[in-house]
Amino acid sequence: MSGRRERGGGAAAKAVIVPAALLMLAELAMRLTGFKSDSVAPPSEILVAAFQALHDGSIARATGETLLSAFGGLAIGGLVGLIVGIVLGSVAILDRLFDFSIETIRPIPPIALMPIALMVFGFGARLEIAVVAFAAVWPVLILTRAAIAGIEPQLLEVARALRLGFGARVFKIVVPAILPRLFVALRLATGVAVIVAVTVEITVNPVGLGYAIMIAGQSLRPDLMLALLIWIGLVGWGLNFALQATERSLFGFAMPRARP
Amino acid sequence: MNEPRRLEEFAVAAEAETLIEFRDVGVILGGQPILQGIDLNIRRGEFVCVIGPSGCGKTTALRLLAGLLRPSSGTVLYRGEALSGPRQNIAVVFQDYARALLPWRTAAGNVALALESLGVPAAERGDRARELLAKVGLAAHARRYPAEMSGGMQQRVQIARCLAQNPDVLLMDEPFGALDAMTRQSLQDEVLGIVAATGATVFFVTHDLEEAVYLGDRVIGLRPHPGRIGIEETVPLPRPRDQLTTREDPAFLRLRRALFDFTKSAKA
């Protein structure tokens, strides 16, 4: 939260000062002391490694593999979460029946499913997609269920009083009412999907950014390892930024504008 | 502005046509009797106000008329036929305007919702919605979202949405309860103006006794547990009504006193 007066350039410049200074300091310190390590590299070398990896296409390929699994799992898990969430949100008795089961399955760390998933799917994209899907179900399911149950009953009453048909009720009342929260769910689930995809790659599946980091670390390339680490952060930030921008342009109405 | 209303009243007095009839109506919700033995006739063009302590079933009676609730016993007749559900010519102004408007639609969009339900072609909706908003003094605010409007403005949007239905009956559930005194008075007069211009029959629920006397042709008082009619007063005050002179009229003061005594005894 930056002050109101220092918008745009000023605020951005201030946000960059500290990290830039720290990087400069690290660079200088490592250069001056001749520091060598298997786990840390000077910022300049990280930068060089990043450019090389970008140039030879290895980052692009790894990113593609990771995102493919992340989005594939997100699509499957999100869809399941959406459907189950809609059903449980609209039928109170089913919600009570399934509540205990859901609350006991949900806390299982997706990574703990790896041994089973490995037996079922073997190595490869299907394994990764399956584990990501499991992880992506929950944020979508929980938020969809809450969004449906939280639709303003007065609005449904208005729909009845205006004698809106089923289709009009769904598309003019229910969908717009739950959409903002579904978008939050999508944002959360996307973050989870990337995290889980990389985790699966680091632990088991020999593809993607997670595997690339593992290999870089094991082959004593801290520069490349750290470059990939920063890259993963940038990918996550970019996804979130894109989704947030979409969200703002779609649901700007929720925020009352300044009144004259 | 009030001319048509007077003519209407003469016509109504001549035929005394019953538009709405409650016949021994009872409502039981969750095992609790909410309304019991309600017998009530409402003439066409009549402005009926309903008062009573909370829990007396005022809103339930309104929901029966709206077709949002079926009576557990007895019948509610509209033009001699049992009401079986919401009707196009019966419009409801809900109590909680903030929750009765679609927050993702502008004022015009909210009014258009009613037009959409009536099958008005998309090309005409915009103009019709703006016309209706102009009737409630919101011509300049058609593109505002509910969150950008004051409570009084939001309630006006709801009224405009009801007018879109071109209603014969206007059901209003404590529509001005949450508004400040000044806004309330101006909206009261606006509603009287609209009713005078359209000749609509009004069923107006309120907990404000003065409002009931000021607006109504007749005031019905309900007693709670279970809700039943406890008092029925015809309002002899002339129309058009005036916020100052009407409220000073001895008949106004006498009625206010009678209703006040009633609500005191009803609560006890």
Judging contacts by C-beta atoms under 8 Å, the chain A residues touching residue B103 are: 253-254
Q: What is the pLDDT, as a whole number, of residue A187? A: 92
Q: What is the pLDDT, as a whole number, of residue A215? A: 92
| SS3 category, B219 | strand
Answer yes or no: do A161 and B103 touch at CB < 8 A.
no
Rounded Cα distance, B68 and B66, in Å: 5
Note the pLDDT tens digit of each residue in A84-122: 998 898 888 898 999 899 999 999 999 899 889 999 998
Answer yes or no: do A172 and B113 touch at CB < 8 A.
yes
| SS3 category, B38 | strand
Buried b (16+ CB within 10 A) or exposed e, B18-57: ebbbbeebbbeeeeebbbbebebebbbbbbbbbbbbebbb
Rounded Cα distance, B53 and B263, in Å: 7
Q: Does domain A41-251 have CATH number 1.10.3720.10?
A: yes
Judging contacts by C-beta atoms under 8 Å, the chain A residues touching residue B102 are: 155, 172-173, 176
Between A41 and B216, name the one with better pLDDT: B216
In a domain, B257, yes or no: yes
Q: Looking at the structure, do residues B195 and B114 belong to the same domain, yes or no? A: no
Q: What is the pLDDT, as a whole number, of residue A227? A: 92
CA distances from B253 to A249, B20, B143, B259 (A): 56, 29, 43, 10
In a domain, B22, yes or no: no
Sequence-ordered alpha helix ranges (H) in chain A: 8-33, 43-55, 58-90, 92-105, 114-121, 125-149, 153-161, 166-168, 175-203, 208-218, 222-250
Q: Looking at the structure, do residues B62 and B138 belong to the same domain, yes or no? A: no
Rounded Cα distance, A5 and A47, in Å: 34
| Cα atoms in the 13 Å half-sphere on the side-chain side of B74 | 20
Q: What is the pLDDT along chain B (268 residues), one digit of tens a residue?
A: 445 555 555 554 545 688 999 999 999 998 899 999 999 999 999 999 999 888 888 999 999 999 999 999 999 999 888 888 899 899 999 998 889 999 999 999 999 999 999 888 988 898 989 989 998 888 899 899 999 999 999 999 999 999 999 999 999 999 998 899 999 999 999 999 999 999 999 999 999 999 999 999 999 999 988 899 988 999 998 888 988 899 999 999 999 999 999 998 887 6
Q: Looking at the structure, do residues B131 and B57 belong to the same domain, yes or no? A: no
A123: pLDDT strictly greater than 80: yes
- Nearest by CB to A157, from B68, B85, B147: name it: B68
In a domain, B86, yes or no: no
Between A132 and A9, name the one with better pLDDT: A132
For chains A and B, count residue pairs whose Cβ atoms are closer than 8 Å. 60
A252 pLDDT band, cuts 50/70/90, is low
In a domain, B80, yes or no: no
Sequence-ordered alpha helix ranges (H) in chain B: 3-15, 58-66, 97-100, 107-117, 122-135, 151-164, 181-198, 209-215, 245-248, 250-267
Between B262 and A249, name the one with better pLDDT: B262
CB A205 within 8 A of CB A111: no
The pair of three-digit structure tokens given for residue A104, joined into one six-digit string: 């006991």
DSSP character string of B67-115: TSS--SEEEEEETTEE--S--TTEEEE-S-HHHHS-TTS-HHHHHHHHH
Answer yes or no: do A168 and B102 touch at CB < 8 A.
no
CB B42 within 8 A of CB B224: no
Q: Looking at the structure, do residues B188 and B254 belong to the same domain, yes or no? A: yes
Identify the domain boundary among B140, B166, B192: B166
Answer yes or no: do B148 and A259 touch at CB < 8 A.
yes
Rounded Cα distance, A202 and A211, in Å: 5
Q: Any idea what the CATH number is for the domain that residue B200 is in? A: 3.40.50.300
| SS3 category, A122 | coil
Q: Looking at the structure, do residues B62 and B177 belong to the same domain, yes or no? A: yes
Instruction: Provide the domain limits for residue B138.
Output: 100-166
Q: Give the predicted TM-score (pTM) of the model.
A: 0.74
In a domain, B9, yes or no: yes
Note the pLDDT tens digit of each residue in A156-172: 999 999 998 888 888 89
Phi, psi angles (nearest 5°) of residue B52: 150, 160
Identify the domain boundary among B166, B198, B214: B166
Alpha carbon A60 to chain centroid, angstroms: 19
CB B184 within 8 A of CB B191: no
Judging contacts by C-beta atoms under 8 Å, the chain B residues touching residue A161 are: 66-68, 86, 91-92
The pair of three-digit structure tokens given for residue B17, joined into one six-digit string: 């046509």
| SS3 category, B247 | helix
Of residues A201, A204, A206, A197, the one with CA closest to residue A236: A197
CA distances from A172 to A164, A166, B94, B118 (A): 9, 10, 19, 14
Judging contacts by C-beta atoms under 8 Å, the chain B residues touching residue A256 are: 145, 147-148
- Nearest by CB to B148, from A177, A251, A257: name it: A257
Helix pair B107-117, B122-135: axis angle to 10 deg = 120
Q: What is the pLDDT, as a whole number, of residue A5? A: 52
Identify the domain boundary among B122, B146, B166: B166
Domain limits, chain A: 41-251
Residue of B nearest to A171 (CA): B113
Tally of structural domains, chain B: 2
Q: Looking at the structure, do residues B175 and B159 belong to the same domain, yes or no? A: no
* CA distance to partner chain B, nearest, from residue A61 (Å): 41
First to last CA, chain B: 43
The pair of three-digit structure tokens given for residue A240, joined into one six-digit string: 């979130």
Q: Looking at the structure, do residues B52 and B108 belong to the same domain, yes or no? A: no
- ipTM for the whole predicted complex goes beyond 0.85: no
Q: Looking at the structure, do residues B109 and B226 belong to the same domain, yes or no? A: no
The mean of the pLDDT values for chain A is 87
The pair of three-digit structure tokens given for residue B191, joined into one six-digit string: 């509603």
Q: Looking at the structure, do residues B216 and B205 belong to the same domain, yes or no? A: yes
Please return the burial class of A24, using the count of CB atoms within 10 Å of its CB with bins 0-12, 13-18 and 19+.
exposed
In a domain, B240, yes or no: yes
Would you call A253 an interface residue with chain B, using a CB distance cutoff of 8 Å?
yes
In a domain, B260, yes or no: yes
In a domain, B29, yes or no: no
Buried b (16+ CB within 10 A) or exposed e, B121-132: eeeebeebbbeb
Answer yes or no: do B147 and A254 touch at CB < 8 A.
yes
CB A205 within 8 A of CB A127: yes
Non-local (6+) Cβ contacts of A120 within 8 A are A130
Would you call B103 an interface residue with chain A, using a CB distance cutoff of 8 Å?
yes
Judging contacts by C-beta atoms under 8 Å, the chain B residues touching residue A172 are: 102, 113, 116
The pair of three-digit structure tokens given for residue B262, joined into one six-digit string: 């009633």
| Cα atoms in the 13 Å half-sphere on the side-chain side of B209 | 20
Buried b (16+ CB within 10 A) or exposed e, B145-173: bbebbeebbbbbbbbbbbbbbebbbbbbb
Average pLDDT, stretch A45-61?
Answer: 88
Q: Looking at the structure, do residues B196 and B147 belong to the same domain, yes or no? A: no
Non-local (6+) Cβ contacts of A183 within 8 A are A243, A246, A247, A250, A251
Q: Looking at the structure, do residues B63 and B176 belong to the same domain, yes or no? A: yes
CB A241 within 8 A of CB A190: no
Answer yes or no: do A254 and B165 touch at CB < 8 A.
no
